[in-house]
Chain A
Amino acid sequence: MKEKTNSLKPSLWSEIKKNKMHYFMMSPYMILFTVFTIIPVIASLILSFTYFNMLEFPSWRGLDNYKQLFLSDDVFLIAVKNTLIFAFLTGPLSYVLCFFFAWFINELPAKVRAFMTLVFYAPSIAGSVYTIWGFIFSGDSYGFVNGMLLKYNLISEPIQWFTNPAYNFTIVVVIQLWLSLGTSFLAFIAGFQSVSKDLYEAGAMDGIKNRFQELIKITVPAMKEKMMFGAVMQIASSFSIGAVGAALGGFPSVNYSLHTVINHIQDYGSVRYEMGYAAAIAFMLTVAMVLTKNLISKLLKPE
């Protein structure tokens, strides 16, 4: 107690010493976290001002990477446009899907609930199964959609779904939504189930009339933390769209119609080995995600 009246330093040190067990418990995780998350982010910020090909020592380029990115790299601007459209379509839509279907499922009897949770969650954990969409929308007449359209004479020749920019973007959005009932969805399922029954009973006594009122007045306030978590997960995944388009529409896609920022990072990082430039793109993407998250946390925070 006496220590606290002294200057800050010894008291801070004694606090640290007192909790040394806690620091010790955190250290295995924190060491790995620092090496594989913190250092890479800092390294990519520094390298984004250099030319770096993994073989030679990085050479300083100042802001050249960023200038090139925004002033002369037309493909990057296409990638930004595509990423933003993907993110603003799939992000909010899949958030709403996750939330409402978790709610619907929570209204079911317990036995059906587990099964329906599996049905909705399965696509997101089934790995490469999304390639089945490549067969459903295959460009020849054996593809399921083309075959059906041809059979009923709705089209006269097969449509190249993945290489025609008129269709491929929409199809990738549909596939992304199909894949998107993942982590946030489970968090919502768990959230709905962990709302205390007492709250609902108290709500019923206070005159809650229907399930919407119950949802808005009781459930949503009770699971606010999980809703923000869901939003963060949706931002992270919707800004990272790229793998599905590359697998089904080709890499690079026709006229870069499916090209996203993630694809652009892969192009410069894994194909051309221009790591400085790739780091600049990766850093911009990270900044965009953080800004969006801050915006949303302001929106979700009431009062």
Chain B
Amino acid sequence: MINWRKMMRSKKVSRSKGGDFMIILMLVLVGAFMALPLVYSVVNAFKPLEEIFIFPPRFFVINPTTQNFKTLFILTSNLWVPFSRYIFNSVFVSATVVFFHIVFASMAAYPLAKGHFPGRDKIFSLIQLTLLFSGGAMAIPQYIVMAKLGMINTYWAVILPPIAGSMGLFLMRQFMVSLHDSMLEAARIDGAGEVRIYWQIVMPLMRPAWLTLLIFAFQGIWNSTGGNFLYSEQLKLLPSALSQIQAGGIARQGVGAAASFILMIPPIITFVVTQSNVIETMSYAGIKE
């Protein structure tokens, strides 16, 4: 006997009101814990100095000012190189990394997901293993190799390693596995080569995946200070320039908040934009059958 009522109500049947309430309560409480420090940081960026050093401290600003941003601007124009240089460095490095990461990782992911060739599984399990190797553990070994290659203090040192980040390849491959072979077979019968199949059939369907790679790669490189890999002022990235300013003492509290505010905007905007795309693409993704 088929229970038609249950089938009609499908997913939402099993939702109790009490459960809904608990979920919303948890989301509000923990959501506040997540959001308030960020909000506080943004608010602090618009506080005049006398409001930052006030007792008792206030969460919100009384007389909002853009003074911190002006001070930041004055301080940055007194740096060794023009501030625009740091912006150029960060934008150039980030754009290069994101572009080549998406292209190279997806190009490598396609054979790993859909090919049948000797060594495939060994290569993929190696990639999977290296997901564990965090930047912190790898920094010194990479530094040694880069020093040997003469890459220290060049753009190469910050551009090349994240292009071959293993997470992007891993995610891309996992998404690609879910594609139906029948589609690729049909293209092969029509005489399409592997590169054409990858570029014209697989990649357009991979839009959610490469937008995810875009978020991850951009977020990683944009927030990177370049560590010990860059020491010339004219090569340094934005976060390291701003942390130099922030390190200038306690009176830089507001300026530091302004700097953090400016730095966090691009990753958050990229995420907002790409996230809605991912969700949109997901809702159209009816190929799975």
Contacts and interface: CB of A to CB of B under 8 A. Distances in A.
What does DSSP make chain A's interface, helix, strand, loop or mixed? Answer: helix
Contacts of A97: 30
B142 A36 contact: yes
Contact of A126 (B137, B142, B242, B264): B264
Contacts of B164: 29, 32-33, 35-37
Nearest to B278: A190
Interface stretch (A17-25, A163-171, A248-256): A17-25
Contacts of B160: 32, 35-36
Interface string A28-51: 111011011111110110010000
A237 B138 CA distance: 13
Contacts of A266: 136, 139
Interface stretch (A60-68, A69-77, A111-119): A111-119
B41 interface: yes
Contact of A43 (B11, B132, B145, B271): B145
Interface in B125-142: 126-142
Contact of B56 (A150, A210, A262): A150
B145 A40 contact: yes
A151 B56 CA distance: 6
A275 B144 contact: yes
Contacts of A30: 108, 123
Given A32-B163, A132-B257, A270-B140, A233 B131 contact: yes
A25 B15 CA distance: 48
Given A190-B212, A210-B14, A29 B105 contact: yes
Contacts of A282: 137-138, 140-141
B284 interface: no
Nearest to B4: A205
B197 to A, nearest CB: 10
B107 A28 contact: yes
Interface string B45-83: 000000011111101000000000000000000000000
B10 A25 contact: no
Nearest to B263: A127
Contact of A136 (B30, B37, B239, B264): B37
Interface residues of B, number: 111
B189 interface: no
Given A37-B164, A107-B23, A142-B55, A240 B14 contact: no
Contacts of B130: 33, 37
A123 B140 contact: no
Contacts of A278: 140
B123 to A, nearest CB: 7
B186 interface: no
B207 interface: no
Interface string A140-156: 01111001101100000
A119 B134 CA distance: 25
Interface string A65-107: 0000000000000000000000000000000010011001101
Contacts of B89: none
A216 interface: no
A54 to B, nearest CB: 6
Given A22-B115, A25-B198, A117-B275, A197 B141 contact: no
B111 A23 contact: yes
Given A131-B260, A200-B10, A37 B268 contact: no
B94 interface: no
B232 interface: no
Interface residues of A, number: 109
A196 interface: yes
A172 interface: no
A270 B225 CA distance: 15
Given A110-B279, A126-B38, A147-B55, A104 B198 contact: no
A300 interface: no
B174 interface: yes
A285 B161 CA distance: 20
Given A19-B116, A25-B194, A101-B27, A262 B141 contact: no
B223 interface: yes
A40 B171 CA distance: 23
A265 interface: yes
B57 A22 contact: no
A205 B7 contact: yes
Given A128-B223, A142-B52, A262 B138 contact: no
Shortest 7 CB-CB distances between A and B: which pairs? A40-B141, A32-B164, A22-B111, A19-B117, A269-B140, A147-B57, A29-B108
Given A18-B117, A129-B260, A132-B38, 7 more contacts: A28-B107, A29-B169, A37-B166, A190-B278, A194-B282, A239-B137, A290-B129
Interface of B: 2-3, 6-7, 9-11, 13-16, 19-20, 23, 26-27, 30-31, 33-35, 37-38, 40-41, 44, 52-57, 59, 104-105, 107-108, 110-112, 115-118, 123, 126-145, 147, 149, 160-161, 163-164, 166-167, 169-171, 174, 193-195, 198, 208, 212, 215-216, 219, 222-223, 227-228, 239, 242-243, 246, 253, 256-257, 259-260, 263-264, 267-268, 271-272, 275-276, 278-279, 282, 288
8 contacts: A25-B194, A37-B164, A40-B138, A129-B260, A144-B40, A151-B55, A236-B133, A278-B140
